[in-house]
């Protein structure tokens, strides 16, 4: 146990302030569903970018980026390269995001209904819900594992004669306050706390990067990567067996980053919450300058862990399979920091965890309610306040499921690859019906159904079959996009022959919107 | 391999520097935006007036 009294005080103060602020946001929601879900569509560009950055680079990202750096060497910097290229592309061109925000859709499901049909909304919503559920279920356990190994907590606690495992307890303790304030204030709470966490996490990350480089020189890091991985550790296009990335990975990731940034619920909900289409577009441009450096700092920590603690013996008690490499970086960081800095960094980490979990749980519950539950209950005429209560119940149910799934499911690949595959259950099909729907007037519901089904099959096969070869996962992931887009086109043409007409969504002129 | 090493070293220096500048801008810009958000939400109608304001349940959007 490395924490001192002052470290606990820093963490308790930070947690208390953030949770209290998040809970107080309930007053701004006033039982209004539009406020709860999309913050009244009043969020401007800097708050969108700061909150988006906090939500997208949470503790789960700290974990998987650290693991990627540990397992791939400098090649892991290819991830921030892709983030920069894809987000700058969306931010400066307005690809999809401008037209999507102009439709006034609240969720992707809502857009699916406006452009295709009511039944397709529920159908695509179910895929989206499944994909995000599989993804977010790894967040709490990864966060719990990070904090446990970072603080050097024992594997078990003794409470009144009973022996309790640490990782599940820490996981539950992390989850509880986040779920409480997300249930209270919805997207308003998430935006407020994400901003607070953005500030805190950024300060902590800057301090830790300086400490890491003071402890482990750049030359030592380069030497360790050379010795461990050789050329594979530097050139991301090379691949041998399970080592390195390769060209298939690059193809899959490029598509996954573009469409993940457009259709993935937390970021998509942020687009819907933006004050206008221009603010949504600018959010991506600003994030393209924030994200690469932020991810780069974490990768530097993972590389330093590779140089300093590659052979340390670390107990993996109470963790699912596949967590050895994941806990190396938190273990290293925990040994590195003096008191006070340790407390500040732990508060920053908790900030990252809370912002990430709250944004994802809010977005997932929005999909579950807006796209599946409320359309089913439409005839009952539920009041706005009742819907907010149902929404809160769904958030709680998701938290319970995620806690149990994370403790049960073991990893046979890197955490990052798992997350990309679970995301790909939804992204290829949604990317196809979004792009065709916004840019091709003839796109119809038959094509949308075909794209959704075709895009989900291959990633689901990867998750269930747990292929040993990484290339198999990358190739199938890449192919899922090709199949989804081909399905959208072919389905639309078949639909036309069957007499299915395309629905069109009225959109104001782009130029007029941009002049606001 | 040496070329990749120099490339990644330059990449780290440039992107981290740019992101720190962007972060400072976002911290101040975000605080102003947060202030506007609270003000705007306070000025918006109460629940009874806004019962149909949520467009995401089969409506035609905003």
pLDDT of residue A447: 96
Pairwise pLDDT comparison (A192 vs A484), residue with the higher score: A484
Cβ–Cβ gap B22/A286 under 8 Å: yes
Partners of A159 in the β-ladder: A162
Closest chain B C-alpha to A367 CA, distance in angstroms: 10
Residue B6's Cβ-side half-sphere holds a number of Cα atoms within 13 Å equal to 2
Alpha helices by DSSP H, A137-246:
139-151, 166-215, 218-229
- Among the ranges given (A179-188, A216-225, A262-271), the one the predictor scored with the smallest mean pLDDT: A179-188
Tell me: pLDDT of A55 over 60.
Answer: yes
Which pLDDT does position A410 carry in this prediction?
62
Query: Which chain A residues contact residue B58 at CB under 8 A?
Result: 113, 118, 375, 378
Lowest-confidence region among A339-353, A461-475, A491-505? A339-353
Tell me if A35 and B44 make a contact (CB, 8 A cut-off).
yes
pLDDT at A347: 79
- One DSSP character per residue, A399-425 reads HHHHHHHHHH---SS-HHHHHHHHHTT
CA nearest to A178, candidates A331, A397, A362: A362
Contact A290 B22 (CB under 8 A): yes
Buried b / exposed e along A447-474 (16+ C-beta atoms within 10 A)? bbbbbbbbbbbbbbebbeeebeebeebb
Q: Cβ distance A281 to A102 under 8 Å?
A: no
pLDDT at residue A87 in the model: 93
Q: What is the mean pLDDT of residues A479-491?
A: 96
Q: What confidence score (pLDDT) does residue A509 get?
A: 42
pLDDT tens-digit series, residues A441-471: 999 999 999 999 999 999 989 888 878 777 8
pLDDT recorded at residue A478: 93
pLDDT at A47 over 80: yes
* Residue A157 main-chain phi, psi, to 5 deg: -115, 145
Q: In a 10 Å sphere around its CB, with 0-12 CB exposed, 13-18 middle and 19+ buried, how is residue A506 labelled?
A: exposed
* CA distance between the termini of chain B: 54
Determine the average pLDDT of the residues in A381-390.
79
Contact B36 A32 (CB under 8 A): no
Q: Which of A34, A199, A297 sits opposite B50 (nearest CB)?
A: A34
SS3 A361: helix
Angle among Cα A160, A162, A164 to the nearest 5 degrees reads 115
The pLDDT assigned to B45 comes to 65
Contacts of A35 in chain B (CB under 8 A): 41, 44, 50
Q: Over the stretch A425-446, which tens digit does the pLDDT of each residue have?
A: 899 999 999 999 999 999 999 9
Look at B19 and A296 and tell me if their CB atoms are within 8 Å: yes
Helix axes A59-72, A341-366, angle to 10 degrees: 110
Query: At A159, is the secondary structure helix, strand, or coil?
Result: strand
Total Cβ atoms within 10 A of residue A440:
14
Q: What is the pLDDT of residue A257?
A: 92
Q: Are B51 and A384 in contact (CB under 8 A)?
A: yes
CB contact under 8 A, B41 and A222: no
**B17 contacts on A by Cβ (under 8 Å):** 293
The alpha carbon of residue B28 is apart from the nearest alpha carbon of chain A, in Å, by 8
Q: Please tell me which residue of chain A has the smallest CA distance to B19.
A: A290
Average model confidence (pLDDT) across chain A: 83
Report how far residue A438's alpha carbon sits from residue A249's, in angstroms, rounded to the nearest whole number. 28
Backbone phi and psi for residue A431, each to the nearest 5 degrees, phi listed first: -60, -40
pLDDT of the residue at A360: 80
Q: What is the pLDDT of residue A120?
A: 92
Using only the alpha carbons of chain A, give its radius of gyration. Answer: 22
The model's confidence at residue A370, banded by pLDDT at 50, 70 and 90, is: confident
Closest CA to A463 of A447, A480, A449: A480
3 state SS of A142: helix
Second-level CATH architecture of A5-21+43-311+323-504: Up-down Bundle (1.20)
Q: Does A323 score more than 90 pLDDT? A: no
pLDDT of residue B22: 92
A133-152 pLDDT per residue, tens: 888 887 788 778 777 877 77
High-pLDDT (> 70) share of chain A, %? 91
Higher-confidence position of A175 and B10: B10
User: Once rounded to an integer, what is the mean pLDDT over residues A396-414?
Assistant: 76
Contact A384/B50 with Cβ under 8 angstroms? yes
**Cβ-defined contact of A47 to B12 (cutoff 8 Å):** no
> What is residue A274's three-state secondary structure?
strand
- The continuous run of DSSP H or E covering A165 comes out as strand A162-165
User: How confident is the model over A54-62, as a mean pLDDT?
Assistant: 76
pLDDT of the residue at A512: 40
pLDDT of residue A34: 66
Which residue in chain A has the smallest CA separation from B7? A234
Over residues B2-60, the pLDDT tens digits come to 899 999 999 999 999 999 999 999 989 988 988 888 888 777 765 544 444 445 554 33
- Give yes or no for residue A485 having a pLDDT over 60: yes
The stretch A56-62 carries a mean pLDDT of 77
DSSP conformation class of A98:
H
CA distance A465 to A265: 26
Contact B34 A32 (CB under 8 A): no
**Which position has the higher pLDDT, A483 or A201?**
A483
Q: Domain ranges in chain A?
A: 5-21+43-311+323-504
Distance of alpha carbon A316 from its chain centroid, rounded?
25
Helix (H) or strand (E) holding A327: none
- A-chain CB neighbours of B46 within 8 Å are 30, 32
Is the ipTM higher than 0.85? The answer is: no
Q: Percent of chain A beyond pLDDT 90?
A: 29
Angle at A11 between CA A9 and CA A15, to 5 degrees: 120
Handedness of CA A352, A354, A360, A363 (dihedral sign): negative
Using the Cβ of B16 and the Cβ atoms of chain A, whether some distance falls under 8 Å is answered with yes
Asked whether the beta carbons of residue B38 and residue A28 sit closer than 8 angstroms, the reply is: yes
Chain B residues lying within 8 Å of A291, measured CB to CB: 19
- Interface probe for B, chosen from A48, A101, A289 (most Cβ of B below 10 Å), is A289
Q: How far is CA A241 from the centre of its chain?
A: 28
Mutate to test the interface with B, among A18, A26, A34 (most CBs of B within 10 A): A34
- Looking at chain B from residue 23 to 62, which residues have their Cβ under 8 Å from any Cβ of chain A? 23, 25-34, 36-38, 40-42, 44-47, 50-51, 53-58, 60-62
Judged by CB atoms closer than 8 Å, whether chains meet at A293 and B17 is answered as yes
- Cβ distance B37 to A188 less than 8 Å, yes or no, reads yes
What is the pLDDT confidence band of residue A214, given thresholds at 50, 70 and 90? very high
| Prediction pTM value | 0.82
């Amino acid at each position: 146990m490395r924490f001192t009294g002052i470290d606990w005080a820093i963490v308790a103060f930070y947690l208390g302030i953030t949770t209290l602020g998040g809970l107080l946001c309930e007053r701004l929601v006033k039982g209004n569903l539009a406020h709860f879900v999309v913050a009244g569509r009043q969020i401007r560009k800097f708050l969108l970018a700061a909150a988006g950055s906090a939500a997208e680079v949470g503790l789960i990202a700290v974990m998987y980026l650290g693991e990627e750096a540990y397992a791939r060497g400098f090649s892991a910097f290819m991830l921030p390269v892709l983030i920069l290229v894809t987000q700058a592309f969306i931010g400066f061109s307005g690809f999809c995001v401008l037209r999507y925000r102009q439709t006034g859709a609240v969720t992707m499901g809502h857009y699916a209904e406006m452009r295709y049909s009511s039944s397709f909304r529920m159908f695509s919503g179910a895929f989206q819900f499944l994909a995000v559920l599989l993804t977010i279920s790894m967040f709490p356990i990864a966060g719990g594992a990070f904090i446990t190994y970072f603080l050097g907590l024992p594997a078990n606690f003794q409470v009144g004669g009973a022996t309790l495992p640490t990782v599940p307890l820490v996981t539950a303790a992390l989850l509880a306050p986040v779920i409480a304030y997300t249930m209270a204030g919805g997207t308003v709470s998430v935006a407020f706390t994400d901003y607070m966490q953005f500030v805190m996490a950024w300060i902590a990350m800057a301090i830790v990067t300086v400490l890491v480089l003071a402890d482990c020189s750049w030359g030592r890091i380069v030497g360790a990567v050379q010795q461990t991985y050789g050329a594979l550790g530097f050139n991301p296009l090379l691949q041998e067996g399970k080592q390195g990335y390769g060209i298939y990975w690059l193809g899959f990731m490029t598509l996954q980053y573009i469409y993940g940034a457009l259709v993935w619920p937390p970021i998509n909900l942020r687009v819907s919450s933006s004050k206008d289409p221009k603010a949504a577009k600018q959010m991506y441009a600003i994030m393209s300058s924030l994200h690469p450096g932020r991810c780069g700092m974490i990768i530097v920590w993972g590389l330093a862990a590779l140089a300093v603690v590659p052979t340390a013996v670390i107990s993996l008690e109470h963790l699912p399979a596949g967590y050895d490499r994941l806990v190396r970086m938190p273990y290293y960081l925990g040994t590195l920091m003096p008191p006070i800095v340790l407390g500040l960094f732990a508060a920053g980490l908790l900030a990252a965890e809370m912002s990430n979990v709250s944004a994802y749980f809010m977005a997932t519950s929005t999909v579950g309610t807006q796209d599946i539950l409320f359309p089913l209950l439409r005839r009952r005429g539920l009041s706005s306040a009742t819907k907010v209560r149902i929404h809160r119940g769904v958030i709680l149910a998701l938290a319970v499921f995620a806690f149990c799934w994370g403790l049960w499911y073991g990893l046979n690949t890197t955490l990052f690859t798992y997350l990309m595959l679970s995301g790909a259950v939804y992204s290829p099909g949604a990317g196809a019906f979004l792009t065709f729907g916004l840019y091709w007037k003839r796109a119809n519901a038959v094509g949308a159904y075909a794209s959704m089904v075709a895009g989900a099959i291959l990633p689901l096969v990867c998750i269930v079959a747990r292929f040993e070869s990484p290339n198999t996962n990358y190739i199938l992931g890449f192919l899922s996009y090709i199949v989804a887009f081909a399905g959208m086109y072919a389905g639309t043409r078949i639909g036309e022959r069957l007499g299915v007409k395309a629905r069109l969504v009225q959109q104001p002129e782009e130029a007029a919107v941009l002049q606001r | 391999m040496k070329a990749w090493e120099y490339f990644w070293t330059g990449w780290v220096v440039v992107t981290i520097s740019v992101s720190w500048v962007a972060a400072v801008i976002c911290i101040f810009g975000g605080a102003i935006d947060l202030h506007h958000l609270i003000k705007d939400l306070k000025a918006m109608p109460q629940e009874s007036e806004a019962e149909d304001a949520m467009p995401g349940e089969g409506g035609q959007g905003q």
